[in-house]
Structure 1
């Protein structure tokens, strides 16, 4: 796993920790967190309602509350990078496909057997619609 992949994974886990503990993200971010990790965590927390609305739109027959918390956090991080690249410090923004691939890899390693396909399906549906919307705006 690359350093940037580790930072994305760390961001998902910090979001998860804050949610489980019912604490603000600032309480779980330690001084050792990278700038990328901090930016992802803060952006995902600030945009939580919008991100969860997107996740909920594509999680057919699933209420957002029923989706495993870690899966939600993983998808929030990927969506931040796909939809709000300016919120993340990076020399080169990760392409949407890269953000999806990394989210799926984290889900494979840390979530249940069905999670990678679930995460992949939701993120691919989201980016497909967003791409169609952007194309129709041109």
Structure 2
């Protein structure tokens, strides 16, 4: 696992912990959390409403509140990097397929048996939507 993968997971867990404990994001980071982890988590939190709208469009039969908090955090972080690659430092950009792969692997490691497929389905549908609505070169 790459160092960036660990840092992305740290951002997911900080968002998850902040939501579960009703604490401020800065109060739940590990003491040695990287600047990338902090920037990614804060940007994800800043864009949460927009990210949740994308999740809601593709989570057929599920409201955003029914999605487990950990899976919601995983989805939000991946979508942030897919939709707003400029929200974190440029040298940390990851292609959309990489964001999906990392999200699915995180769900496999830390969530229930159905979570990886759920995460993959939502993120893959979101990527199709992004590509369909992206301006095409003439």
Unpaired runs of at least 5, structure 2: none
Q: Kindly indicate whether residue 126 of structure 2 is the aligned counterpart of residue 126 of structure 1.
A: yes
The alignment status of 1:98 with 2:98, answered yes or no, reads: yes
Q: Report whether the alignment pairs 1:80 with 2:76.
A: no
Match of 2:73, SS state, is helix
Residue in 2 aligned with 1:36?
36
Moved more, 36-45 or 21-30: 21-30
TM-fit CA distance, 1:92? 5.1
Q: Could you list the runs of 4 or more consecutive aligned residues of structure 1 that deviate by over 2 angstroms after TM superposition?
A: 135-138
- What TM-score do the two structures reach when normalised by structure 2? 0.95
Aligned match of 2:47: 47
Between Structure 1 and Structure 2, how many residues are aligned?
138
Q: CA deviation at 1:136?
A: 5.7
5+ residue gaps in structure 1?
A: none
Distance 1:53 1:24 in 2: 23
The two structures have a TM-score, normalised by structure 1, of 0.95
Does structure 2 retain, via aligned residues, the 8 Å contact 1:58–1:122?
A: yes
2:109 and 2:31 map into 1 onto residues whose CA distance is 26
Structure 1 residue 56: deviation in Å? Answer: 0.8
Calculate the aligned-residue CA RMSD, in Å: 1.4
Q: Answer yes or no: is the 8 Å Cα contact 1:7–1:36 preserved in 2.
A: yes
Is the 1:35–1:89 contact (alpha carbons within 8 Å) kept by the matching residues of 2? no
